[in-house]
Chain A
């Protein structure tokens, strides 16, 4: 897909989503749609490091919660509006990403992944002992009036998340086709050979970690406003890690469209299962699909499409 085609399609999708937020559609559509779009952001963000560079980040909850709590802090302390909360969330989790990126100096493969899990528990402990953000019991929040002429706050959040999804996918796509993406792919295949081909591997890994982290945090930042409530157990929930990892794998890792397909499919399915069957079962759905895809189609839906195209030629 050419860049012009991509951006035209993105603009059309965005216009449709924002237009929807002004329509008479049921409020629940936006409540559920927010989550689906949020996962498009998270999965695309994760793919920048996990898919392009091959560094599997299990610490997604740490980034999402950093974004959420950073947003909460500027809201509680300064009464900052939603956009400032999101920028603050992106900034703080971008910094966290940079720090996690330093780990890649010494840790590769599974050891890096284990270290990212540790980050979750370190940050959760900090929040549990931080009175200002509500500690273990959490905080109830009063949402301000919606801006930009939206009827309800949930509708506004849905539209904001739609913009963020387009931005995240745009960044992820840009990175894939840029020199950065080429270098990340090289270092994923062999860091030694990449260095000897002139690729500044550490710099690229730090860039990927920072951008990925910032987008994960931006995706998490609206959570306190979305729920009117925040507490550590759900903010640092490991199911974020599982879902965010499962979506790119199911969609197809290493290509910008993979996480988008995976997130739309899996997050929608989860929302449907939550409503029609039970909220417990939606975790099971992710697990079963992940196992199935890893075993049967390790290259995800994109891989299946590619091999189907090849065999039908």
Chain B
């Protein structure tokens, strides 16, 4: 498989604090990558740099053959990088359907009935069709997580970054979201999953990357990463 995302030598400082130092990472098209690491290790900072919410201070980020590290977030979305948020950020004043119509209008350039039909299709895939007219501020936690994924899908991404889409969910709900992510991957979408729920990461990822203190300390198959002594030290201490 071809490389769709290539992060090389990325550094990000917040004042005197180095959140990411010299992070390099390549993701193949269609791959399922798990990104793990203890709290504060820089996972969200890294995906903020990839999605454009933050600009990296050094290094390059190439997506689909293009340098994107100086592009704004909405330009990257239009190129095919979509994400969900660790803390869901619905458009609260809109219904679930209207939430999806924003990326459809601004990325796909479609509106009106065509957008409504396409939104409903995505929502049925996610099992949210019954909630289409519900105000997004009235959704339950798992529905919000699904809506975030649905909204990301409405941007027709090549790469989907799921930032802790399962945080705070119950066991069966985790399986539901996992199933959705597998399906999306089956459609050819590359997925980077950030997750603390190890059972989910282990079953989902083809490859796992572990960050600690802003550096990649280990990467490989889920089993090798979990068995790695450095990873265990990062999580559990000496």
Q: Which residues of B contact A185 (CB under 8 A)?
A: 91, 93-94
Instruction: Judge whether A175 is part of the interface by a CB distance below 8 angstroms.
Output: no
Report Cα–Cα, A202/B75, bound state, in Å. 12
Number of interface residues of A (CB under 8 A): 20
Contact A179 B105 (CB under 8 A): yes
Instruction: Judge whether A199 is part of the interface by a CB distance below 8 angstroms.
Output: yes
Would A179 and B85 be within 8 Å (CB), given that A195-B52, A195-B72, A198-B155 are in contact? no
**Using a CB-CB cutoff of 8 Å, which residues 101-139 of chain B contact chain A?**
101-103, 105-107, 111
Instruction: Judge whether A196 is part of the interface by a CB distance below 8 angstroms.
Output: yes
Q: Which residues of A contact B94 (CB under 8 A)?
A: 185-186, 189
Instruction: Judge whether B165 is part of the interface by a CB distance below 8 angstroms.
Output: no
Instruction: Judge whether B151 is part of the interface by a CB distance below 8 angstroms.
Output: yes
Instruction: Judge whether A239 is part of the interface by a CB distance below 8 angstroms.
Output: no
Instruction: Judge whether A190 is part of the interface by a CB distance below 8 angstroms.
Output: yes
Contact A179 B106 (CB under 8 A): yes
Report Cα–Cα, A183/B53, bound state, in Å. 18
Instruction: Judge whether B190 is part of the interface by a CB distance below 8 angstroms.
Output: no
Q: Which residues of B contact A196 (CB under 8 A)?
A: 51, 53, 73-74, 77, 82-83, 85, 152, 155
Number of interface residues of B (CB under 8 A): 28
Contact A197 B85 (CB under 8 A): no
Could you say which of B53, B103, B111, B151 contacts A192, with CB atoms under 8 Å apart? B53
Contact B106 A193 (CB under 8 A): no
Contact A198 B90 (CB under 8 A): no
Contact A190 B91 (CB under 8 A): yes
Report Cα–Cα, A198/B52, bound state, in Å. 11
Rounded to whole Å, the gap between the CB of A130 and the closest CB of chain B is 39
**Using a CB-CB cutoff of 8 Å, which residues 147-192 of chain B contact chain A?**
151-152, 154-155
Interface of A is mostly: helix
Instruction: Judge whether B70 is part of the interface by a CB distance below 8 angstroms.
Output: no
Contact A189 B92 (CB under 8 A): yes
Contact A197 B106 (CB under 8 A): yes
Q: Which residues of A contact B85 (CB under 8 A)?
A: 192-193, 196
Rounded to whole Å, the gap between the CB of A207 and the closest CB of chain B is 14
Contact A183 B106 (CB under 8 A): yes
Instruction: Judge whether A188 is part of the interface by a CB distance below 8 angstroms.
Output: yes
Report Cα–Cα, A197/B151, bound state, in Å. 8
Rounded to whole Å, the gap between the CB of A50 and the closest CB of chain B is 14
Would A194 and B83 be within 8 Å (CB), given that A185-B91, A199-B74, A201-B74 are in contact? no
Contact A195 B77 (CB under 8 A): yes
Instruction: Judge whether A282 is part of the interface by a CB distance below 8 angstroms.
Output: no
Instruction: Judge whether A200 is part of the interface by a CB distance below 8 angstroms.
Output: yes
Q: Which residues of B contact A183 (CB under 8 A)?
A: 102, 105-106
Contact B93 A198 (CB under 8 A): no
Smallest CB gap from B107: residue in A: A198
Rounded to whole Å, the gap between the CB of A90 and the closest CB of chain B is 28
Instruction: Judge whether A104 is part of the interface by a CB distance below 8 angstroms.
Output: no
Could you say which of A188, A189, A200 contacts B74, with CB atoms under 8 Å apart? A200
Report Cα–Cα, A197/B154, bound state, in Å. 8
Contact A186 B89 (CB under 8 A): no
Could you say which of A186, A192, A254 contacts B102, with CB atoms under 8 Å apart? A186
Rounded to whole Å, the gap between the CB of B161 and the closest CB of chain A is 10
Show 30 A/B contacts (Cβ-Cβ < 8 Å), sorted by A.
Answer: A179-B111, A182-B101, A182-B105, A183-B105, A185-B91, A188-B93, A189-B89, A189-B91, A189-B92, A192-B89, A193-B90, A193-B151, A194-B91, A195-B72, A195-B73, A195-B74, A196-B51, A196-B53, A196-B74, A196-B82, A196-B83, A196-B85, A196-B155, A197-B74, A197-B77, A198-B77, A198-B107, A199-B74, A200-B72, A200-B106
Q: List the 4 closest pairs (A to B, CB-CB), nearest first.
A: A198-B106, A195-B73, A198-B107, A197-B103
